[in-house]
Structure 1
Amino acid sequence: MPIKILSRLAECPPATWDALLPDAQPFLRHAFLSCLEDSGSVGPGTGWKPVHRLLEDGQGRLLAALPLYSKAHSYGEYVFDWGWADACQRAGIAYYPKWLTGVPFTPVAGARLLGEPAALSDVLDAMTGSLAERGLSGWHINFTTPAEDALLRGREGWLERLDCQFHWFNRDYRDFQDFLDALTSRKRKQLRKEREQVAGQGIDFDWRAGHQLSEAEWDFVYACYANTYQVRGQAPYLTRAFFSLLAERMPEAIRVVLALQGMRPVAMAFSLMDCDSLYGRYWGCLAEYDRLHFETCFYQGIEQAITLGLKRFDAGAQGEHKLIRGFEPVITRSWHYLRHPGLRAAVADFLAEEKQGVLAYAEEAREMLPYRQG
């Protein structure tokens, strides 16, 4: 059975693609990935060339699928392999292009390989066998699920990489105060003081679903998002059109909180959600306000998760500053197939050492959590 290559996800009907999804997480939905393409956030000129793969049976029934991009750089992946690329350049080995299976600009663990394990095994074998003829240095699969880890673990040539994020978990809290009561006295006072400092600046918060924002308000959301990159001298990954398209195609998954001083919006945080988790994705403000980042990105998200009865709040990839605010260490995994034997051996040694460091770091971080004992 030949494996189909899609240069645009629009070539696959949304219902056909989404039927393979194992859960309700929004990021691998046809709507989300196609919005990235149709808005120009990935595609020509971005270094992200869609080359998605489909495996169908003789009757045209979809057996397996995976999002796939031919990458000309390592931006927007959040599993950092710049050191590997630099080593290749010094050794005269071409590192780009490479393949990446993942969700662009989204360091959220979730399904990456869609379909039955037997069909996916066939796809994995066929695709790793074609790397050389396509002039690719390797294939990378980022932020996988435990089921995918089991499929890839022990498969010849694949290397496992660990990282640590911080997620907040809802222990059936009745409200934000109930959450605060679970913390040590010192941390409880710190969080309460930070919230009071924001309130003292006359800032209130308004939560909206995707269909509740006007185009002018989306303009503001995008201006805030883009500003977080521009202050670092970088171009934003997403285009303005992405936000309007997403609000049109999956508004029920969108949650935006606007920080208002009087009637004037001054900051925002953009999140997506499914039936049990809130995913904080983008934030930004157009002026500096004391402690506003912590309130908008963390405390508002925690409060919203409690209000909606969600079990988890994933506020993004980075930040030990989340730890003292009740976010717990969580191990994430990615997988890497490197065609050059010398590079593969060197990276394997590095990852074995890095793994021990990541696990030790996560254990030390867990001991620093602010929750009361007993």
Structure 2
Amino acid sequence: MNREVEIHVVDSLDDIPAADWNRLAGDNPFVRHGFLSALQDTQCAVKRTGWRAHHLILRRGGDFAGAMPLYLKSHSRGEYVFDHAWADAFERHGLRYYPKAVSAVPFSPVTGPRLIAAEHEDRVLLARGAIELTRRLDISSLHVLFPHAQDIDALTDAGYMLREGVQFHWENLPGEGYASFDAFLATMSHDKRKKVKQDRRRVTEAGVTYTWLRGHEIDQSALDFFYDCYDNTYREHWNAPYLSREFFGQIHADAPESMLLVIAEADGERLACALNMIGGDTMYGRYWGTREFISGLHFETCYMQGIEYCIEHRLARFEGGAQGVHKMSRGLLPTPTWSAHWIADRRFAEAISEFLDAETTAMNEHIEELEAHTPFRKKG
């Protein structure tokens, strides 16, 4: 580790060989070279939309040794770690909160590598390099969203403050996994098992059937249908979608096996669709949409079909996405998530630190309360 170290900023990944990047990034599909490049290539995460790339690249002796996806943000949308109260406090005191620096995968609240390096020392260097860049640019703050545990150690060593959140994840049985979906249901309490069966029966009685399409099984018509559903979900909430049809097409072309479409059909017509991403032994629930309301359709399409797929294909876990206490009754359990923050103004840093201490205590109590209401049968 005594070779000369250099950290510099790039505004795209074009000059970083995908093989070098992916070797360090691992199997998390959201931090792969193709995923991050597609966000920029298709104009979804660019300066115009509030995401100006300032990725940090670490080299040792001229060789690529690490990276940190980093953006200058002009707003707080598409992050899923909410700091609007912090921004309001800055503004009330006549201080500028935006732009801020954010290390994240745009529009993707998924835990994964943010300090992409093989060694702890290099992860700390990247974390400190981001602080130095934030100081040099004279901006308010730096935020690292949904980092891996190994990143948290480095971020703590570099002086960041931690913030705890919660998501709901499903875990397969260690080893061989559940023998079947019925075997999984058998571990649930009577009331929860009955509710899942009732919900599934409603969907079946409505004539809904499901098809799983992965990788090259996904053709252009299936992608078009998914995007219509995705777009419709945003429009129903009076928002324009963050991501374009071109983005999903580019992801499918670059890494087809990372994509799974769960398509619901009724009376010979496609009705609803959920997109899941797969990397290694983990599946990530991302987007869904429907053309018609049917009781239980959302839970079945987004969660139960996902769990059933994981059991059949022996995947270890299913991360159901951001928020949603309602997921617990389907067997997804509360799982802590984290973010890390560095605030340039010492007065605000101290105030936010006190806030985070209190918030963490409340979050831990909330998670303990949720865990007391497990949907599974008590052992013993």
- What interval of TM-score do these two structures reach, taking the shorter chain for normalisation? over 0.9
Match of 2:82 in 1: 80
Residue 364 (structure 2) aligned to one of 359, 365, 372? 359
Match of 1:38 in 2: 41
Match of 1:275 in 2: 280
Match of 2:339 in 1: 334
Q: Is residue 199 of structure 2 the alignment partner of residue 197 of structure 1?
A: no
CA–CA distance in structure 2, aligned partners of residues 173 and 217 of structure 1: 30
Q: Secondary structure of 1:132's partner?
A: helix
Amino acid corresponding to residue 287 of structure 1 in structure 2 = E
Residue 56 (structure 1) aligned to one of 51, 54, 59? 59
Q: Is residue 245 of structure 2 the alignment partner of residue 237 of structure 1?
A: no
1:304-323 → structure 2 map (5 Å cutoff)? 304-323=309-328
Residue 12 (structure 2) aligned to one of 5, 8, 11? 8
Match of 2:297 in 1: 292
TM-score by length of 2: 0.95
Q: Secondary structure of 1:11's partner?
A: coil
Q: Cα offset for 1:275?
A: 2.4
Residue 164 (structure 2) aligned to one of 162, 165, 182? 162
Q: Secondary structure of 2:14's partner?
A: helix
Q: Cα offset for 1:36?
A: 1.1
Q: Which moved more, 1:5-14 or 1:276-285?
A: 5-14
Match of 2:110 in 1: 108
Q: Cα offset for 1:299?
A: 0.5
Assess if the C-alpha contact under 8 Å between 1:167 and 1:315 holds in 2: yes
Q: Secondary structure of 1:120's partner?
A: helix
Match of 1:136 in 2: 139
CA RMSD of aligned residues (A): 1.2
Q: Secondary structure of 2:134's partner?
A: coil
Q: Which runs of 4+ in 1 moved over 4 A?
A: none
Q: Cα offset for 1:85?
A: 0.5
Q: Secondary structure of 1:260's partner?
A: strand
CA–CA distance in structure 2, aligned partners of residues 128 and 274 of structure 1: 30
Residue 93 (structure 1) aligned to one of 92, 95, 106? 95
CA–CA distance in structure 1, aligned partners of residues 182 and 356 of structure 2: 42
Q: Secondary structure of 1:299's partner?
A: helix
Amino acid corresponding to residue 237 of structure 1 in structure 2 = Y
Distance 1:35 1:145, change over 3 A: same
CA–CA distance in structure 1, aligned partners of residues 227 and 285 of structure 2: 15
Q: Cα offset for 1:164?
A: 0.8
Match of 1:255 in 2: 260
Assess if the C-alpha contact under 8 Å between 1:97 and 1:135 holds in 2: no
Assess if the C-alpha contact under 8 Å between 1:324 and 1:368 holds in 2: no
CA–CA distance in structure 1, aligned partners of residues 212 and 93 of structure 2: 52
CA–CA distance in structure 2, aligned partners of residues 326 and 180 of structure 1: 9
**Residues paired across the two proteins, number:** 371
CA–CA distance in structure 2, aligned partners of residues 299 and 120 of structure 1: 37
Q: Cα offset for 1:367?
A: 1.0
Q: Is residue 223 of structure 2 the alignment partner of residue 206 of structure 1?
A: no
Distance 1:216 1:190, change over 3 A: same
Assess if the C-alpha contact under 8 Å between 2:124 and 2:157 holds in 1: no
TM-score by length of 1: 0.96
CA–CA distance in structure 2, aligned partners of residues 123 and 314 of structure 1: 27
Assess if the C-alpha contact under 8 Å between 2:127 and 2:158 holds in 1: no
CA–CA distance in structure 2, aligned partners of residues 358 and 249 of structure 1: 39
Match of 1:125 in 2: 128
CA–CA distance in structure 1, aligned partners of residues 190 and 133 of structure 2: 58
CA–CA distance in structure 1, aligned partners of residues 334 and 244 of structure 2: 32
> Any stretches of 5+ residues in structure 1 without a counterpart?
none
Q: Which moved more, 1:204-213 or 1:330-339?
A: 204-213
Q: Cα offset for 1:127?
A: 3.0
Assess if the C-alpha contact under 8 Å between 1:195 and 1:295 holds in 2: yes
Assess if the C-alpha contact under 8 Å between 1:210 and 1:256 holds in 2: no
CA–CA distance in structure 2, aligned partners of residues 117 and 328 of structure 1: 30
Assess if the C-alpha contact under 8 Å between 1:39 and 1:239 holds in 2: yes
Assess if the C-alpha contact under 8 Å between 1:211 and 1:248 holds in 2: no
Q: Secondary structure of 1:290's partner?
A: coil
Amino acid corresponding to residue 8 of structure 1 in structure 2 = S
Q: Secondary structure of 1:211's partner?
A: helix
User: How far does the alpha carbon of each residue in 1:20-49 deviate from its partner, in whole angstroms, 9 at most, with x for none?
Assistant: 12x312111101111111111111311011
Q: Cα offset for 1:166?
A: 0.7
CA–CA distance in structure 1, aligned partners of residues 150 and 47 of structure 2: 33
Q: Secondary structure of 1:74's partner?
A: coil
Match of 2:153 in 1: 150
CA–CA distance in structure 1, aligned partners of residues 329 and 89 of structure 2: 37
Using the aligned pairs only, state the percent identity: 37
Assess if the C-alpha contact under 8 Å between 1:184 and 1:371 holds in 2: yes
Q: Which moved more, 1:236-245 or 1:4-13?
A: 4-13
CA–CA distance in structure 2, aligned partners of residues 44 and 210 of structure 1: 31
Amino acid corresponding to residue 360 of structure 1 in structure 2 = E
User: How far does the alpha carbon of each residue in 1:135-157 deviate from its partner, in whole angstroms, 9 at most, with x for none?
Assistant: 3111111111111111122533x
1:219-234 → structure 2 map (5 Å cutoff)? 219-234=224-239
Amino acid corresponding to residue 365 of structure 1 in structure 2 = L
Distance 1:9 1:100, change over 3 A: same
